[in-house]
Amino acid sequence: MNKTKNQFRPAQDFVAEEMVTALLKDSSYDFHELFEAVHVRLRARNAAGSGKEMLRLRVYEKLRVMVAQGLVKKDDKRYSGVAEALLTRQKEMAAAKARLAQRRSAIMHVE
């Protein structure tokens, strides 16, 4: 029972945000370098809640989805981001985050 992951789900996803930021920042990574960059940034945000191995699995799964969607190119064992596609995804995530904040504030102000 495989689910297709072709669509961007507009939930707040810190791992995806940090992966997009890291892939836009540097030209290419091997998986270990990318994971370390994402892990450091998540720890700085105090958002690395689960264990390190579970986070490694989540990053790897998201990376595979990004490759399948065309956001990231894989050459041998190196991953590099497609800048235009990643910038578009970053804007989608920012818009989703704004909608989520707006919904939360609307719920809090309902009497």
Q: Domain map of the chain by residue range?
A: 14-108
In CATH, which of 3.30.1300.10, 1.25.40.10, 1.10.10.10, 3.40.50.300 is domain 14-108? 1.10.10.10
Query: pTM of the entire structure?
Result: 0.76
Return the higher-pLDDT residue of 49 and 93: 93
Nearest to 98 by CA among 88, 86, 110, 90: 90
Q: What average pLDDT does range 24-46 have in this prediction? A: 89
Q: Residue 106 has what pLDDT?
A: 78
SS3 30: strand
> What's the pLDDT tens digit per position in 69-100?
999 999 998 999 999 999 999 999 899 888 88
Provide the mean pLDDT of the chain.
84
**Residue 65 and residue 79: Cα distance in Å, rounded?**
13
